Amino acid sequence: MTEDYVDSVNKLRENFLTEKSQKVFRKWNKVMSFEFSDIGKHYYFKIENGTPSEIQEGEPEKSDVKITTDSETWVGIMSGEIGGMKAYTAKKLKVKGSMPDLLKLQKLMK
């Protein structure tokens, strides 16, 4: 599973690029970060007017939405094998951000 977790972050990033998402997120200017606790890796991307930047490795100065999980759980969530809410209630997924942002983002993770 070497880089599957990065592919899954990119899948979420690409979900911002659909026509429907562009309308929903057009006013979004946020930074999303991902911490993979099992391998000690951090990634992030910026969303400006609904359009995501390329994925960067490392931690951003500030993050509006931060997702912390292990790489296997993240790949399972993004592939649909694991429900995000199930991972959250099992404490395998931690999410920090405003509730309206998190509810809006939930639509992109399906």
Integer Cα distance of 74 and 69 in angstroms: 6
Task: Check if the beta carbon of residue 65 is closer than 8 Å to that of residue 102.
Answer: yes
Integer Cα distance of 16 and 61 in angstroms: 22
CATH number, domain of 58, equals 3.30.1050.10
pLDDT at res. 1: 45
pLDDT digits (tens, 9 = 90+) for 29-82: 999 999 999 999 999 999 999 999 999 999 999 999 999 999 999 999 999 999
Give the side-chain half-sphere CA count within 13 A for 27: 3
Q: Where does the pLDDT of residue 104 fall: very low under 50, low under 70, confident under 90, or very high at 90 and above?
A: confident
| DSSP code at position 107 | G
Please count the structural domains in the chain.
Answer: 1
pTM comes to 0.91
Question: What range does the domain containing 31 cover?
Answer: 4-109
Mean of pLDDT values over 16-40? 95
pLDDT at res. 110: 60
pLDDT at 3 over 70: no
Task: Check if the beta carbon of residue 84 is closer than 8 Å to that of residue 106.
Answer: yes
Structure tokens at 68: 């912390």
